[in-house]
Amino acid sequence: MTIHNITFSPTGGTRRVGELLCKEFGGECVTTELCTKKENLKLPGIHTDDLTVISMPVYAGRVPAMAVERLKGIEANGARCVIIAVYGNRAYEDALVEMQDVATGMGFRVVAAIAAIAEHSICRMYGSGRPDAEDANELASFAADILRKIKGDGEYAPLSLPGNRPYKQGCKGPYPTANDNCTGCGTCASECPAGAISPDNLKGNDNGLCIGCMRCVAVCPVQARGIGERLNMLVAHLEPLCRDRKKNELFA
């Protein structure tokens, strides 16, 4: 059995959650990163007896449309699947049911779902350092429960997950730009999955293409990119929602 770790992880936290879970399953693990330039995207071949772990970040209670679009390019072939919605210690709202609908519609057999916490992609003080050692232990426990389930009779009833259908309306932005510290190295443009940063205007951003994933902020070697004064307003808005440590949740 091959373990497929399929992730869309602009700032690294979502991928780390998927990796922590996958290593507990044992066997060969193949990682596919969907957060890359479209021309660099390489989709895996999945067989019926494989186990696929799909992890996506949560943006305002939804998963990124780009991540869903790219995921749908993969042939599921009836493989078993674990979905993970990774959020920045605020809330995951409709993200899990959206992932469930997408994966089931593709032909995956969704055997388990996890809501997990990583550092907030914009306000990094919320969920700082997560997933941490406590999270790793919890994910290991989840993996053991999932393994026991998939070693059963192979008949999987649809999971009852928190969330609403129709899903809540998503939001756009915020859109990062660079300040005067920008050295023009071009890392942001080369790493942007949406192609929203032109090599001819490295300080700017095409808001029509940008998905607000903060990939450019995370990879900037001189920390020149950000959302400016909006950051302080967002930090204040999220503080009462994010101050308490949220727990990871397993649905299986």
Ordered mean pLDDT values, 10 residues apiece, the chain (252 residues): 96 98 92 96 96 97 98 97 98 98 98 98 97 98 96 84 96 92 97 96 95 97 96 96 96 96
The two three-digit tokens of residue 7, written as one number: 């992730």
Q: Please, how many CA atoms are within 13 Å of residue 236, restricted to the half-sphere of its CB?
A: 5
Cα dihedral sign, 219-210-125-7: negative
- CA geometry: angle at 127 spanning 67 and 143, to 5°? 65
Report the alpha-carbon distance of residue 185 to residue 190 in Å, rounded.
10
d(CA 131, CA 125): 13
CB 19 within 8 A of CB 67: no
Domains of the chain, first to last: 3-166+245-251 (3.40.50.360), 177-226 (3.30.70.20)
Distance in angstroms (rounded) separating the CA atoms of residues 60 and 172: 9
For the chain, list the strands marked E by DSSP.
3-7, 29-33, 51-57, 80-87, 109-117, 177-178, 225-226, 249-251
What integer pLDDT is reported at residue 109 of this predicted model? 96
Taking the CA of residue 159 as centre, how many other CA atoms within 13 Å lie in the half-sphere pointing to its CB? 25
Kindly report the pTM of this predicted structure.
0.96
177-178 vs 225-226, strand pairing mode: antiparallel
